[in-house]
């Protein structure tokens, strides 16, 4: 417990059931651990990752490369999710009946931001079978200390920007982010870079920007850049940001 680094040997068959976690460790028991490497273990649910936060509340670096975390959008599905209806619901009770006429199928669900991980600075989610920016990656938007986010080797085809009244009134998403890696993902359109500019990168003054301090974006080996040189890809990316 006194060690500040815990390394799990790669390819170990580690798959912790979050429901049984209380029998293994108490909440906050490993509060001295700052860095945890669980790369290439057999973790198959983000519920396990959420449990790690409860017993290691002071984690600053967490590496989960090559784990299957595709349920990031659904692992806590029993909890309420945010929608445009929730954000737009009138405070004046006299207007309440009007909301009944809004069809649910016209509302794009916006998953609630992930809670916990208050000290986390670096999160490596390389090759974790993540495919949705809105449903999965956007859930990381309120981690207060997150400065480095690694998303390499995930099948993310597009980046979307969804604005809500709640978001406009709250702090900027990814407010502390300084470095992002999107190498070898499946981005197919430059419109995703435009959306990334609005969702994460420095505010242009329009009120729709994100972090004001990002310094580095690694964006290589994506379909959108396959037909141009590395130098041209770099220039176009910088121009769009």
Radius of gyration for the chain, computed over Cα atoms and rounded to the nearest angstrom: 19
> How far is residue 206 from each of residues 15, 45, 198, 203, 209, measured CA to CA in Å?
45, 38, 9, 7, 7
- pLDDT score of 100: 43
Residue 166 in tokens: 């709640």
Q: Cβ atoms within 10 A of the Cβ of 235, count?
A: 12
- pLDDT score of 85: 33
- pLDDT score of 162: 61
Cα gap 213→176, rounded to integer Å: 7
pTM of the predicted structure, to 2 decimals:
0.76
Question: At 181, phi and psi to the nearest 5?
Answer: -120, 125
- pLDDT score of 207: 44
- pLDDT score of 190: 93
- pLDDT score of 79: 58
Cα gap 58→208, rounded to integer Å: 31
Task: Give CA angle at 65 (60, 66), nearest 5°.
Answer: 155
Alpha helices in the chain (DSSP H): 46-55, 84-88, 96-99, 165-169, 190-199, 230-240
Cα gap 29→57, rounded to integer Å: 9
- Region for residue 111 given its phi and psi (left: phi exceeds 0; alpha: psi -120 to 50; beta: otherwise): beta
Cα gap 175→156, rounded to integer Å: 22
Cα gap 98→90, rounded to integer Å: 9
- pLDDT score of 25: 62
Q: How far apart are the first and last CA of the chain?
A: 43
- pLDDT score of 24: 54
Mean pLDDT, the chain cut into blocks of 10 residues (241 residues total)? 46 50 65 97 96 95 98 82 38 41 44 93 98 94 95 94 55 85 95 80 46 77 92 90 80
pLDDT one-digit tens code per residue, 202-238: 444 444 444 456 688 999 999 999 999 999 999 998 8
Cα gap 202→214, rounded to integer Å: 7
- pLDDT score of 77: 82
pLDDT one-digit tens code per residue, 118-147: 999 999 999 999 999 999 999 999 999 999
């Amino acid at each position: 417990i006194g060690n500040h680094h815990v390394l799990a040997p790669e390819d170990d068959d580690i798959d912790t059931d979050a429901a049984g976690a209380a029998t293994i460790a108490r909440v906050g028991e490993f509060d001295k651990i700052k860095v945890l490497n669980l790369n290439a273990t057999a973790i198959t649910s983000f519920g396990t990752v959420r449990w790690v936060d409860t017993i290691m509340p002071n984690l600053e670096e967490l590496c989960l490369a090559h784990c299957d975390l595709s349920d990031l959008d659904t692992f806590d599905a029993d909890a309420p999710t945010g929608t445009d209806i929730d954000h737009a619901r009138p405070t004046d009770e006299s207007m309440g009946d009007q909301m009944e006429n809004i069809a649910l199928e016209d509302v794009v669900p916006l998953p609630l931001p992930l809670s916990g991980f208050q000290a986390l600075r670096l999160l490596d989610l390389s090759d974790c079978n993540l495919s949705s920016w809105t449903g999965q990656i956007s859930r990381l938007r309120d981690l207060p200390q997150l400065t480095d986010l690694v998303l390499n080797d995930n099948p993310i085809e597009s980046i979307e920007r969804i604005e809500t009244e709640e978001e406009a009134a709250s702090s900027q998403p990814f407010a502390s982010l300084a470095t992002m890696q999107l190498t070898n993902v499946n981005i197919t359109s430059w419109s995703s870079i435009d959306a990334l500019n609005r969702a994460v990168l420095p505010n242009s003054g329009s009120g729709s920007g994100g972090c004001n301090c990002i310094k580095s974006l690694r964006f290589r080996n994506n379909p959108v850049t396959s037909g141009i040189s590395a130098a041209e890809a770099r220039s176009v990316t910088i121009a769009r940001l």
